[in-house]
Structure 1
């Protein structure tokens, strides 16, 4: 396994993106919108192609970092999942939590977003297992 491989990174980012589409669309879209304090107009405003494109690029960056760590350590499958979910729980969620504390965001918004990170990273880790 090389330190960087395009297809696992793209597939992992796509899995994370798909989880986000379901999470913020079908499952928690309205609850998230209310918790974020966004009206329907605000939620639909902006350049959605740019927003989705940058979201995918950020998820690609996350996937590249995780794939690099997995490749460098030669992690076993169960460790891959521990790294993926651990990255969400140990790095991503605390970082968002710190920002939300200072921005006075609600606990519900934090819980919705934290759930997305955990499931998104688990999906990414699961996809990576297909490439090991």
Structure 2
């Protein structure tokens, strides 16, 4: 989960680079380079990593199907009926690929991150470009995070 959290920062460095979407994002957010240099970058990156880590702890339940089976036995396989062990024997590694995790991460970005960020942006009076740049970042980031978590 830590690797997935770190991936969010790496993707952010690329996504918000001035030669990618950084300049367009600054304009759509109504920010200047001077505004960005005025922040406490250590605090921002530490908190961003912390928030990404929190997000990475929620993703296994979304991107790994077997987590649902574990939740059905109360999180303690030692108290499960024999059918739990049989189920995991048959399906324990099913859909445990980067590709499958990336699919679920992408869907999470589209159906959770986009509506949340879009709603906030509308009330902040931000335009479509702002919504799509930020939501696009989270869709890609959640895809990568989901892929890492599911495959690992």
TM bucket (normalised to shorter chain) is 0.7 to 0.9
Does the aligned pair in 1 maintain the 2:104–2:143 contact within 8 Å? no
Which structure is higher in RCO with an 8 Å CA cutoff and minimum separation 6?
A: 1
1:86-97 to structure 2, matched below 5 A, reads 86-97=107-118
Gaps of 5+ in 2: 69-91
Q: Distance in 1 between matches of 2:8 and 2:144?
A: 6
Q: How many residues align?
A: 123
Distance apart, 1:23 and its partner CA: 0.3
Corresponding residue number in structure 1 for 2:75: none
> Tell me, what secondary structure is at the counterpart of 2:35?
helix
Does the aligned pair in 1 maintain the 2:113–2:139 contact within 8 Å? no
Distance apart, 1:129 and its partner CA: 4.0
Does the aligned pair in 2 maintain the 1:15–1:127 contact within 8 Å? no
Q: Distance in 1 between matches of 2:102 and 2:25?
A: 27
Per-residue CA shift, 1:21-76, capped at 9, x if unaligned? 10012411111111110111101111111111111111101101002442513661
CA RMSD of aligned residues (A): 1.7
Corresponding residue number in structure 2 for 1:47: 40
State TM-score, norm by structure 1: 0.84
Q: Does 1:121 align with 2:142?
A: yes
Per-residue CA shift, 1:62-113, capped at 9, x if unaligned? 1010024425136613542232111111111100111111111011111111
Q: Does 1:56 align with 2:77?
A: no
State TM-score, norm by structure 2: 0.74
Bigger radius of gyration: 2
